[in-house]
Amino acid sequence: MEKDVKNWVTILGKMARIENALTELYRRAGVACASGADFWGNMAGEEANHAAVIGAMANLVIKRKGAGFSSNRVFTVAALDTFQKIVEGNLSSLKDGKLNGKKVYYAAKDLESALMETRYWQLLKTEDQGYMDLMRLVEDETMAHRARLEERIRSLQPGE
C-alpha cells in the first residue's frame, strides 16, 4: 500500500504541474490576445484552482495513507511528462508569436479535449466523498472549458 500511495501522489503531483502549466499558458494567452483577456484570465484562474484541488486530493490520499483508495486507471509518468511537454511547447510557441489569434483557442481546445479523453481525475477509485467532490469539480470544469473554447471559436471575428 505504501508504494501505491507514493505512486499515486507522484502522479497527482505531475497532474497539478500540468494544471499550473495550463494556468501559465492561459495567462499569457490573455496578454497576447488583448480582445480575449477576460476570457483567458478566467480560464487561467480556474486552472490554478485545479492545481490546488489536485493538491488537496493528494493530501487526502496521504492523510488516509491510501486506505479506501484503489487504482482505477493506469497512468504512466512518461505519458504525463509528454503531455506537460506539449503544454510547454504551446507556451513557447505563444511566447515566440507562432501561436496567435484563433490558433491559441484551437490549441487550448485540443489540450482540454485531451484532458477529457485521458480522464486523469479518475486515477483512483474511492468512496471518500471529499475526494470524489474534488474530482468532480475538476472534471466538470474541464468539460466546461472545452465548451467555452468551442463557443469562443465560433464567435471569433475575422482577424481575432
pLDDT in tens, 37-82: 999 999 999 999 999 999 999 999 999 999 999 998 777 788 889 9
Q: Does residue 58 sit within a domain?
A: yes
Model confidence pLDDT, tens digit, residues 86-131: 999 999 999 999 998 889 999 999 999 988 777 777 889 999 999 9
The identity of residue 137, as a single letter, is L
Which range marks the domain in which residue 131 is found?
Answer: 2-155
Q: Does residue 29 sit within a domain?
A: yes
pTM higher than 0.85: yes
CATH number of 135's domain = 1.20.1260
Residue with cell 466523498: 129
Q: Does residue 146 sit within a domain?
A: yes
Q: Does residue 122 sit within a domain?
A: yes
Q: Does residue 144 sit within a domain?
A: yes
Q: Does residue 48 sit within a domain?
A: yes
Burial of 151 (0-12, 13-18, 19+ CB in 10 A): exposed
How many CA atoms, within 13 angstroms, populate the side-chain half-sphere of residue 84?
A: 16
Query: Residue 35's pLDDT is what?
Result: 83
Rg of the chain taking only CA atoms, in angstroms = 16
Model confidence pLDDT, tens digit, residues 59-70: 999 999 999 999
Q: How many domains does the chain have?
A: 1
Q: Please say if the pLDDT value at position 160 is more than 60.
A: no
Give the DSSP per-residue string, the chain: -HHHHHHHHHHHHHHHHHHHHHHHHHHHHHHH-GGGHHHHHHHHHHHHHHHHHHHHHHHHHHHTTTTTEEE-S---HHHHHHHHHHHHHHHHHHHTTSS-THHHHHHHHHHHHHHHHHTGGGSEEE--HHHHHHHHHHHHHHHHHHHHHHHHHHHPPTT-
Q: Does residue 160 sit within a domain?
A: no
